[in-house]
A and B are shown apart, each in its own frame.
Chain A
Amino acid sequence: MSTNSATSDDDTPNGGDESGGGPDEVEARVGLRYTLKQVRQDTTARVGSYIVGFMTLVAIFAAFDYYVLNYAIAEAVLYNPEADPEQVRRLLPPVGMENQFGEGVIEHPLGTDHRGRDLLSRTIYGTRIAMTVGFLATAIGLGGGTVIGAVSGYYGGWIDDVLQRVTETIYAIPFLVLVIAFMTAFGRNLTFAMIGVGITAVPVFNRLIRSRVVSIREEDYIEAARAAGVKDRNIIFQHIIPNSFAPVLVQATLQVGVSILIVAGLSFLGFGAQPPTPSWGQMLSASRAYMLPAPTFSIFPGIAILITVIGFNILGDGLQDALDPRINN
């Protein structure tokens, strides 16, 4: 497909090889392939995707090392991010700097925390928690919000009223209070933090999808589909939802960043990952007491959160431009 949208009746850009199309022919301006192609053409989206891609790779590596190898790689190259070291050197600054606890050493390039654990190692392995939580919480919100929003918008009437009032009730409660209450009721661990944050994201996607469905439902091509005998379910999922793909993807990307922030906040309050599991929020929480004597302890997890969240935000903004057919770059 060519990038120009000019119409010409006999000069077709991809003429001649339709027989080679087969099952992987592009039939939609939605989906992964189309998105990737658009992202490649948009500078902002590309930068964002590099950051997010890098963080995702780090997270996958960390997860692999944790679940499969039980920190074998971490111990071989750096230090175990969870276990207290044998020789405790607390709150060292990064290499080349000096503070009241001593001088930075090359073995701990970013210094150590209050129990003498390597900060570089903990920051890297903290990526796993942040990314997992970000993606899964968003997935929960996206899934729930899509179904509720689509059904609500398509059928309207009392179904719409009931579903919207319920989700609005969720929206009305401050999300931190909601998540903390949820975790207090079900359990104070990361799984419930994730589910809780996911639930708070449901109304966001619900509204987005519903508003799209309500406007697209009135389009002539939906009427045409009904007149052709297409089932309601297929109209919703094959005709309406794909038309909402772009704004939803953008919102989902931004929501990952938001979820990471919220869970970091929860960890800071002691509601997220429990020590000694390395997580950025909990590192920040631990560093509070040493802010003045050892500021670098809190700076590095902070930078990690900052970069990740900005990465998702840039990607979201870029996607918005890349997937908008009216912006032709």
Chain B
Amino acid sequence: MTEPLLSVRDLKTQFFTEDGTVRAVDGISFDVYEGEIVGLVGESGAGKSVATSSILRLVDSPGEIVGGEIEFKGETIFGLEEDDAGELRPRDEMLSESEMRERIRGREIAIIFQDPMESLNPVFTVGGQLREFIEINRDLGADEAKEEAIDMLREVGIPAPESRYDEYPHQFSGGMRQRVLIAMALACEPDLIIADEPTTALDVTVEGEILEMVTELQEKYDTSFIWVTHDMSVVAEICDRVNVMYLGEIIEQAEVDDLFYDTKHPYTSALLDSMPRPDRTVDELRPIQGVMPEAINPPAGCRFHSRCPEAREVCREVHPELRDLSEEGEPVHTAACVKHDAFDVGYDESRSIETQATGGFSAGLTETGGEAE
């Protein structure tokens, strides 16, 4: 395979709060190749958004990237090395803050935020903002940038872009604003667009249109996407490969069809079971029992064991790392669950334990007793 466009290795981002260190992203690795849409899936609080802001080095205090490596087109966005005294320090070839700002952010990697209602500055016209972004990132003059901005608005399907150029964000509907944000991201012709739950705030019909448009534009411009979402149906719709995150870790990585039809991790299965599917009739939806534990003090062993229907004693003791479970000749499909033979830690001999998912806790939410282990 060719070199990946973006390569994230063992990325760790932590927040140093008064209550303790929150390990929001705890050693994730994934690649994005050219022209690919890569999904990043997980529940709220799994660390998806922190992971994406880490890629742009936009993590604010008290958060900090504490380890790992991010390479983009052969350049080091983040990387540490040990100096003579054994202290970690940024590597020399790591891009400086001003290089990040001038060369990477917006130009090479653009980001589309979750809430289109909040991502446009309310006191400026839509066109003015789009023009500013184009001016900054493409070194165009004001007039050229304006033409380009109007073209982009037309491209993302805004009717009468010349007159809508002079309107304010509050005069646009949610779907229209999301189109503007996509125009903004595409306008600077980046190689990679990070879409942070861009359709979550929209209603389903608009979501469908936007997804269709993104697929079209993606083919046209050959841009790569990292698509952050918690919605498995969106994943099925547009992603090529998927990373499933749970509590700061990636627990399953696969091509999209494999993930849906040959699910390897109980958490992914649970996610799929919790969503309505037209191809299966179920009496009732099965939500994932319990709530995600705090990332300050994650459970020992497999982090999902407290909510896992298939948990056994060994799950409490062994912390599984991602392993390739695919058969010869198949695309890579990794998962971090000891129930698979590849791990060989004695899962089959181990005794089942009661968890929130097996009913031992009475679903955990209704009764608080017995929570302690």
Known: A21-B166, A157-B61, A229-B107. A7 touches B124 (CB 8 A): no
Known: A12-B164, A26-B166, A28-B124. A224 touches B137 (CB 8 A): no
Determine if A27 is an interface residue (Cβ-Cβ < 8 Å).
yes
Determine if A9 is an interface residue (Cβ-Cβ < 8 Å).
yes
* Chain B residues, Cβ within 8 Å of A86: none
Q: Are B176 and A242 in contact (CB under 8 A)?
A: no
- Bound-complex Cα distance A1 to B167 (A): 8
* Chain B residues, Cβ within 8 Å of A19: 162
Q: Are B102 and A223 in contact (CB under 8 A)?
A: no
Q: Are B118 and A221 in contact (CB under 8 A)?
A: yes
Q: Are B166 and A14 in contact (CB under 8 A)?
A: yes
* Chain B residues, Cβ within 8 Å of A325: 122, 170
Q: Are B119 and A27 in contact (CB under 8 A)?
A: no
Interface centre among B107, B162, B170, B184 (most CB of A within 10 A): B162
| Residue in B110, B136, B160 whose beta carbon sits within 8 Å of that of A10 in the complex | B160
Known: A223-B58, A227-B105, A229-B136. A15 touches B123 (CB 8 A): no
Q: Are B172 and A29 in contact (CB under 8 A)?
A: no
Known: A26-B166, A239-B121, A242-B123. A224 touches B171 (CB 8 A): no
Q: Are B58 and A28 in contact (CB under 8 A)?
A: no
* Chain B residues, Cβ within 8 Å of A245: 123
A-B residue pair count with CB separations less than 8 angstroms: 111
- Bound-complex Cα distance A30 to B124 (A): 8
Interface SS of chain A: loop
* Chain B residues, Cβ within 8 Å of A156: 61
- Bound-complex Cα distance A239 to B56 (A): 20
Min distance, Cβ B135 to any Cβ of chain A, angstroms: 10
Considering the complex, give the chain A residue whose CB is closest to the CB of B171.
A7
Determine if B120 is an interface residue (Cβ-Cβ < 8 Å).
yes
| Residue in B102, B114, B137, B163 whose beta carbon sits within 8 Å of that of A12 in the complex | B163
| Residue interface bits A212-224, CB-to-B below 8 A is 1, else 0 | 0000000111011
Considering the complex, give the chain A residue whose CB is closest to the CB of B175.
A9
Determine if A5 is an interface residue (Cβ-Cβ < 8 Å).
yes
Determine if A231 is an interface residue (Cβ-Cβ < 8 Å).
yes
- Bound-complex Cα distance A30 to B107 (A): 29
Q: Are B171 and A9 in contact (CB under 8 A)?
A: no
| Residue interface bits B115-129, CB-to-A below 8 A is 1, else 0 | 100111111110110
- Bound-complex Cα distance A223 to B122 (A): 14
Considering the complex, give the chain B residue whose CB is closest to the CB of A19.
B162
* Chain A residues, Cβ within 8 Å of B132: 230, 238
Considering the complex, give the chain B residue whose CB is closest to the CB of A219.
B118
Q: Which residues from 12 to 41 on chain A have a C-beta closer than 8 Å to any C-beta of chain B? A: 12, 14-16, 18-19, 21, 25-30
Determine if A226 is an interface residue (Cβ-Cβ < 8 Å).
yes
Known: A12-B160, A227-B111. A28 touches B136 (CB 8 A): no
Q: Are A224 and B111 in contact (CB under 8 A)?
A: yes
- Bound-complex Cα distance A231 to B121 (A): 16
Known: A220-B113, A227-B110. A27 touches B128 (CB 8 A): yes
* Chain A residues, Cβ within 8 Å of B160: 10, 12, 15
Known: A220-B115, A227-B58. A30 touches B104 (CB 8 A): no
* Chain B residues, Cβ within 8 Å of A28: 123-125, 128
| Residue in B123, B163, B184 whose beta carbon sits within 8 Å of that of A228 in the complex | B184
- Bound-complex Cα distance A27 to B120 (A): 13
Min distance, Cβ B110 to any Cβ of chain A, angstroms: 7
- Bound-complex Cα distance A9 to B153 (A): 13
Q: Are B124 and A242 in contact (CB under 8 A)?
A: yes
Determine if B96 is an interface residue (Cβ-Cβ < 8 Å).
no
Determine if B168 is an interface residue (Cβ-Cβ < 8 Å).
yes
Q: Which residues from 129 to 163 on chain A have a C-beta closer than 8 Å to any C-beta of chain B? A: 156-157
Q: Are B136 and A29 in contact (CB under 8 A)?
A: no
Known: A27-B127, A227-B111. A221 touches B166 (CB 8 A): no
Considering the complex, give the chain A residue whose CB is closest to the CB of B103.
A229
- Bound-complex Cα distance A242 to B181 (A): 21
Determine if B165 is an interface residue (Cβ-Cβ < 8 Å).
yes
Determine if A285 is an interface residue (Cβ-Cβ < 8 Å).
no
Number of interface residues of A (CB under 8 A): 38
Interface centre among A1, A28, A227 (most CB of B within 10 A): A227
Determine if B141 is an interface residue (Cβ-Cβ < 8 Å).
no
| Residue in A18, A224, A242 whose beta carbon sits within 8 Å of that of B165 in the complex | A18
| Residue interface bits B126-165, CB-to-A below 8 A is 1, else 0 | 0110001100110000000000000000000001101111
Interface centre among B104, B115, B124 (most CB of A within 10 A): B124
Min distance, Cβ B18 to any Cβ of chain A, angstroms: 16
Min distance, Cβ B121 to any Cβ of chain A, angstroms: 5
Determine if B106 is an interface residue (Cβ-Cβ < 8 Å).
yes
- Bound-complex Cα distance A21 to B128 (A): 13
Determine if A44 is an interface residue (Cβ-Cβ < 8 Å).
no
Determine if A243 is an interface residue (Cβ-Cβ < 8 Å).
yes
Q: Which residues from 269 to 300 on chain B have a C-beta closer than 8 Å to any C-beta of chain A? A: none
Considering the complex, give the chain A residue whose CB is closest to the CB of B111.
A227
- Bound-complex Cα distance A226 to B184 (A): 13
- Bound-complex Cα distance A156 to B176 (A): 35
- Bound-complex Cα distance A18 to B131 (A): 15
Q: Are B188 and A26 in contact (CB under 8 A)?
A: no
Considering the complex, give the chain B residue whose CB is closest to the CB of A240.
B121
| Residue in A5, A21, A243 whose beta carbon sits within 8 Å of that of B121 in the complex | A243
- Bound-complex Cα distance A223 to B120 (A): 10
Q: Are A229 and B166 in contact (CB under 8 A)?
A: no
- Bound-complex Cα distance A229 to B132 (A): 11
Min distance, Cβ B170 to any Cβ of chain A, angstroms: 6
Determine if B101 is an interface residue (Cβ-Cβ < 8 Å).
yes
Q: Are A227 and B124 in contact (CB under 8 A)?
A: no
* Chain B residues, Cβ within 8 Å of A10: 159-160
Interface centre among B102, B133, B184 (most CB of A within 10 A): B133
Considering the complex, give the chain A residue whose CB is closest to the CB of B97.
A232
Beyond A12-B163, A228-B184, A238-B132, 5 additional pairs, beta carbon < 8 A: A15-B162, A157-B61, A227-B56, A227-B106, A231-B101
Q: List 6 A-B contacts (CB under 8 A).
A: A12-B163, A227-B106, A228-B136, A229-B137, A239-B121, A242-B124
Which residues of A are in contact with B by a Cβ distance under 8 Å? 1, 5, 7, 9-10, 12, 14-16, 18-19, 21, 25-30, 156-157, 219-221, 223-231, 238-239, 242-243, 245, 325
Which residues of B are in contact with A by a Cβ distance under 8 Å? 56, 58, 61, 100-102, 104-107, 110-111, 113-115, 118-125, 127-128, 132-133, 136-137, 159-160, 162-168, 170-173, 176, 181, 184, 188
